[in-house]
Amino acid sequence: MLVRSPNAFRLALSGFLLLASLTACAGYQPINAVRETNHAVGPQGLNGYRPMIAINGARSVLPEGFKPNATRPAWMKAPPVGNETGPAHIAVAQFGGTSVLWFILNNRNNQPPINCQPASSTNGIAIDRDGNLWVPDGRANTTTEYASDCGPAKLTIPDPTGEPADVGFDGKNRVYILNLNDAIGRPTVGFYDNITGAQLGTLFDPSFNILFGIGTDRLGNVFVSNLTTNNVGTITEFPHGQMPGFQLSGVSLGLPGAPTFDSANNLIIADWRRSTIDVFSPPYTGSPTTARLMGASIWCKLNRYQTHLFCGDAGNGSIDVYAYPGNAYKYSYTADLSPDALVTGVAPAPAGAYGI
């Protein structure tokens, strides 16, 4: 399936689509190739947002018209040696990649990442409290649980009606899978038994239009970020993972990222359009504290010690690291990551002991 192309871009796209056709005829087709566009649209999203769609038909939450930077910017810094306490890793997905990469955060040689679990058209990923990695596959419409430390597959949950794009947990042996593109209606969040894979229920809200990410706080409340039909970024809370949900009155974003939480239940979320990292204090009715978002990030997650915030940067092919609290930029991991592959979800290990 070719990506949708508004009239204004058809001429610019013609050369790219011709190349795709020629490579396909020659026996080579980029698995997750996405459309090239004019730099004038800018890296931080478009008015009248529409999601990017790959040639294979899979959907990304990255904006249609997005184009990563050809070269990495001068502000990026290399990570220092041994910057984490104790054994620590971070898993990262690339929408155009074929596997999840694992970076060792505390090593003396700044080693490149390890290729681990297979991944195709993957948006968000997550690690549960037992160290298992959950990887949605947007091409196969499945979400697979993998054992810790690059372990084998344990459980695969199919999504026959749509495209899984992000994962959350509530500490009650339930896994929540965000559905990006429901074939029978508006997008939803399904929740499942994390041992058997049996579906236990569905979360939805009349405001759901384009979903971006899912997060849970330490009380087991489930939060879903959404872009309404009026192009307003909102967050819907489902108390203890139950219907009905309600919109957080103090949260109004440009292009929302995936929500995440610290142990004090402060809500942390990137705003792609406004280039900010916003932190909202409970009950999420007041103005947030903000810091500059350096790259183009949807998924940002805290490490276990709540000292670093890791953000997948699709614009620069990197994992950008910010100090927490405060969210001042510190450094970036770039080894074996490619801007063209579109870095998406990140998942630090070990995961935080709260909310999962």
Strands 133-137 and 126-127: antiparallel
pTM for the whole structure:
0.86
Topology, domain 89-349:
Neuraminidase (2.120.10)
Number of Cβ within 10 Å of residue 247's Cβ equals 16
Number of Cβ within 10 Å of residue 349's Cβ equals 19
Name the residue with higher pLDDT: 261 or 37. Answer: 261
Which pLDDT score is estimated for 38? 31
- Does residue 13 register a pLDDT over 90? no
pLDDT digits (tens, 9 = 90+) for 171-201: 888 999 999 876 677 899 999 999 999 999 9
3-state secondary structure the chain: CCCCCCHHHHHHHHHHHHHHHHHHHCCCCCCCCCCCCCHHHCCCCCCCCCEEECCCCCEEEEECCCCCCCCCCCCCCCCCCCCCCCCCEEEEEECCCCEEEEEECCCCCCCCCEEEEECCCCCCCEECCCCCEEEEECCCCEEEEECCCCCCEEEEEECCCCCEEEEEECCCCEEEEEECCCCCCCCCEEEEECCCCCEEEEECCCCCCEEEEEEECCCCCEEEEEECCCCCEEEEEEHHHCCCCEECCCCCECCECCCEECCCCCEEEEECCCCEEEEECCCCCCCCEEEECCCCEEEEEECCCCCEEEEEECCCCEEEEEECCCCCEEEEECCCCCHHHCEEEEEEECCCCCCC
Name the residue with higher pLDDT: 352 or 204. Answer: 204
- Does residue 124 register a pLDDT over 90? yes
pLDDT digits (tens, 9 = 90+) for 137-178: 999 999 999 999 889 999 999 997 789 999 999 988 899 999
Number of Cβ within 10 Å of residue 106's Cβ equals 13
Q: Are 256 and 225 in contact (CB under 8 A)?
A: yes
pLDDT digits (tens, 9 = 90+) for 62-107: 998 899 999 999 999 988 876 555 558 899 999 999 999 999 887 6
Q: Where are the domains of the chain?
A: 7-63, 89-349
CA 21 from centroid of its chain's CA atoms: 29
- Does residue 233 register a pLDDT over 60? yes
Which pLDDT score is estimated for 332? 93
Mean pLDDT of 128-133: 94
Q: pLDDT exceeding 90 applies to what percent of the chain?
A: 69
CA distance 331 to 316: 13
Give every CB contact of residue 318 below 8 A, 6+ residues apart in sequence: 72, 76, 295, 332, 333, 334, 337, 343
- Does residue 108 register a pLDDT over 80? no
